[in-house]
Structure 1
Amino acid sequence: MPAPTPDNDAALLTTLNELYHPLRGRDDLSPLVEQLANARIVMLGEASHGTSEFYVWRAAISRRLIEEHGFKFIAVEGDWPDCYRVNRYVKAYPQSGEHAEAVLHGFDRWPTWMWANWEMVAFAEWLRKHNADSDGQQVGFYGLDVYSLWESLDAIVRHLRHNDPQSMPLAEKVLNCFQPYGRDEQRYARHTALSRHDCANEVTGLLLQLARRHPHFDADPEADFDAEQNAHVMVSAERYYRTMMVGGAGSWNLRDSHMMETLNRLMQHHGPGTRAIVWAHNTHIGDARATDMRLVGMHNIGQLAREEWGAERVRLVGFGSHSGSVVAGGRWGAEMQRMALPPSPEHSWEGALHAALGDNGILLLDEVGERRELVSTRGHRAVGVVYDPRRERGNYVPTELARRYDAFVHLDETRALHPLHIEAAASATPPDTYPWGF
């Protein structure tokens, strides 16, 4: 990645000042919402899974797209079974729960804070009220991710026992196949790599059976779709965990391809003309071809959506921040921590935006035209669920900003997310200023 020069820096700062739309309140979202309004798919990113403002501003943008432009569902970087419980809650299906806080406590896979947080409680309560007051089709909430092998199997078994006992023998074949591995994905993957024996035929057979049968359930009109999607997750998850043993780009690409396939099934499920909102990390929604991901053969859902639906019908919105605090773990599976987010270096995109704006702002990148400085390559911060502020250097993805996104939301100083899963959770109370304008 070539180092920026003083002349390039000066030209970039001038351009950023000219294109900057201030972001101080919800009314300031109007230029961005207007740009997004006619898209079929709007993807809203985040530079970390542990930053409060990313969730709050994504919720504010989504609320306007839903209320003013009729977007029909939100699909997130989360597990299908957990997110489907939220979908049932916001649509007030029978026995779906009394409070969003209790429903979101069900997200108990590490990193729990990613969806079990007070920011999401506020949004889920608003969405339930919106659906209750709406005369039209209710707005849904779904998960795109691939990880929930066992949880999806459990959901299918519960569904079949109550609603389709004729299909239970196929589910029992799947249970018997996975039984020796004790619900340990790594153990299953290692065994299949050594023995070449796997459960692919069993999970595929269950999927085909569920795809053929479409009973109707008055208590949950989406129950058959839910069961079939859980079977799709199982097919992809079984492949995903086996592919992880091989290394390389294969498991990443399989995961994002599964996300794209799930999004397409949701679009079809909701009918012609449906418009969707996606919430996921920038590394998933920002076009991979505008980063160094392309050099190792990786793609992502943002790239796939542009290729499949056409760039004019897909809008990708990146998010970033200069400094503040964040929730993350010191290693995979570790206890969550509130960590400092160090100021971004001046040669990064975040550093340049801080130097040019010193405040929150929106860049509409379709206004760039021939300004080459916004398609040059600079580092763009990406904080994962595992994070060490002392090793910031490795967290910057070489990025051509105006090719990676259609718009970018810069938040100069941000604060850590507010998790639900904390010690003495029973006595936990909402954070100050909750519910943040909802």
Structure 2
Amino acid sequence: MLSTTVDIRAWLRDNAIAIDSTDPDSPGTELDGLIARLATATVVGLGESTRFSRQTFGVRERLLRGLVERHGFRALAIQDSARSGERWDRFVTAGAGDPESVLAGAWRPWRTEESVATLRWIRAYNLAHPDDPVRIFGVEPPRAEPSDYDAVLDYVRRAAPDRLAAIEAHLAPIRTAHQVDEHVQRHQGTHPGRPFAEHAEDALELLTTLPDTGERASALTHARLIRDFHRQSVASQGFARDERPSAETVLEWQRSTGAKIVYWDGLAHTTSLPIVFGTAEFRGTGSHLRTELGERYVSVGIGFHHGDLGAAVAPNPQPDLVDAALGEVELPAYYVDLHAAAPEPVHDWLTGPAKLRTISGVYDPAADATANIRLSSLADAFDVLIHVRETTPVHWLSQVSD
């Protein structure tokens, strides 16, 4: 076992390609080889081990820019709802609104200054290339937003003001999930207690008893969106689910536009294999994309060794994680192609079962040993791994900085 560990360390050192900067504005060319390798794909999945690292976000954007500028990629798929994605797209294609207002309605991990910079860069690119723009779309179906709660309450206020307090009592606590996810509230100890899906069901039931005016049908549509949002949340369903619908959204966009696509998400979603998270299997979008596209889907995992994530400081990874082995290379940041030639002991490690660190909004450093996913084969799950030694936090926009 010791000799195998030595072989793995030596192979990683020999095959590591240094990344000089994780700043998206870096003029460096050290990523050109990787970008050219990714450019052979139709869809490139760039998955992070955490949403809270400025460095992993930065290197991911460097790859996006290179694929757009030099290799004709013309779409960015994001983990967010179709409604949010449409606002991103309207800004970058038509200048509608401003990045801060666009992101105010986005999924919370996107509400950062780093995302603002992404939107501004794509908008600038599109202004310079009006006949060949980069588009953005969300891979999730349309889902409820704060405006849906307002629409329901406005209807009740007009149609049955005596019932307003009863319905508002159900909607007021659960709309907070659009600021901080319900499962994160439970982790933080700020959850009011009753499952949000139950409140949403009761609000919808009350709404059906109100006067059947011409406005009620529209209010019911908004209320059903709210109910479905909470039914389908992580708090209601857990992390393990099948993301085939998200993959179909990516595939349909590609078929209808012919565009080459960069897909941004967590690495649990972009990996080419199903994963085990806790005790449940999770089949992410990337696994379906690999099934449908074969080698035309390429998956890159972007992780880190240790550092400040804002809400928590992550220690050195557990010794049985791939991240710990990657940390044996003394470089601030680097990438390694998992399909490079390797001696038999290393090949067995690459193709064997693996555990990778993943840090979500419910991360607790005291339970760091549980913050990981399991894969049946590292090299079948990812084509390339990027490793950043030390991380610093993303910069939250003011509306989510509390």
Please, what TM-score do these two structures have when normalized by structure 2?
0.74
Distance in 1 (CA, whole Å) between partners of 2:229 and 2:102 is: 28
Contact 1:364 1:407 in 2 (8 A): yes
Q: Report the secondary structure of 2:31's partner residue.
A: helix
CA drift of 1:187 comes to 6.5
After the TM superposition, which residues 229-378 of structure 1 pair with which residues of structure 2 at under 5 Å, given as runs? 241-242=230-231, 252-254=240-242, 256-269=243-256, 271=257, 273-289=258-274, 291-292=275-276, 296-309=280-293, 311-327=294-310, 337=311, 339-368=312-341, 371-378=347-354
Matching of residue 61 in structure 1 with residue 63 in structure 2: yes
In terms of mean alpha carbon deviation, does 122-131 or 354-363 score higher?
354-363
Which letter maps to 1:258? P
Q: Report the secondary structure of 2:94's partner residue.
A: coil
Matching of residue 148 in structure 1 with residue 143 in structure 2: yes
Residue-by-residue CA offset, 1:228-271 (whole Å, 9 max, x unaligned): xxx9x99998667546699777x7425x22321221232244x2
Distance in 2 (CA, whole Å) between partners of 1:316 and 1:407 is: 7
Distance in 1 (CA, whole Å) between partners of 2:336 and 2:398 is: 35
Residue-by-residue CA offset, 1:272-298 (whole Å, 9 max, x unaligned): x32111100011111333x43597443
CA drift of 1:306 comes to 0.5
CA drift of 1:146 comes to 4.7
- Aligned counterpart, 2:373: 397
Matching of residue 415 in structure 1 with residue 392 in structure 2: yes
Distance in 2 (CA, whole Å) between partners of 1:377 and 1:386 is: 25
Residue-by-residue CA offset, 1:23-44 (whole Å, 9 max, x unaligned): 1144111121111112110010
Distance in 2 (CA, whole Å) between partners of 1:297 and 1:236 is: 27
Which letter maps to 1:10? V
Distance in 2 (CA, whole Å) between partners of 1:75 and 1:351 is: 30
- Aligned counterpart, 1:14: 10
Distance in 1 (CA, whole Å) between partners of 2:223 and 2:37 is: 37
Change (3 A) 1:80 1:246: closer
Distance in 2 (CA, whole Å) between partners of 1:57 and 1:187 is: 38
- Aligned counterpart, 2:359: 383
Change (3 A) 1:245 1:15: closer
Which letter maps to 2:244? S
Distance in 1 (CA, whole Å) between partners of 2:334 and 2:65 is: 19
- Aligned counterpart, 1:32: 34
Which letter maps to 1:373? W
Change (3 A) 1:155 1:242: same
Identity %: 22
Contact 1:368 1:402 in 2 (8 A): no
Distance in 2 (CA, whole Å) between partners of 1:120 and 1:8 is: 41
Contact 1:47 1:382 in 2 (8 A): yes
Q: Report the secondary structure of 2:120's partner residue.
A: helix
Change (3 A) 1:46 1:147: farther
CA drift of 1:135 comes to 4.5
Count of aligned pairs = 351
Residue-by-residue CA offset, 1:119-141 (whole Å, 9 max, x unaligned): 11112111111000004321112
Unaligned runs of 5+ in 1: 158-178, 200-230, 328-336, 426-438
Contact 2:105 2:145 in 1 (8 A): no
Root-mean-square deviation (Å): 4.0
Distance in 1 (CA, whole Å) between partners of 2:150 and 2:37 is: 39
Please, what TM-score do these two structures have when normalized by structure 1?
0.69
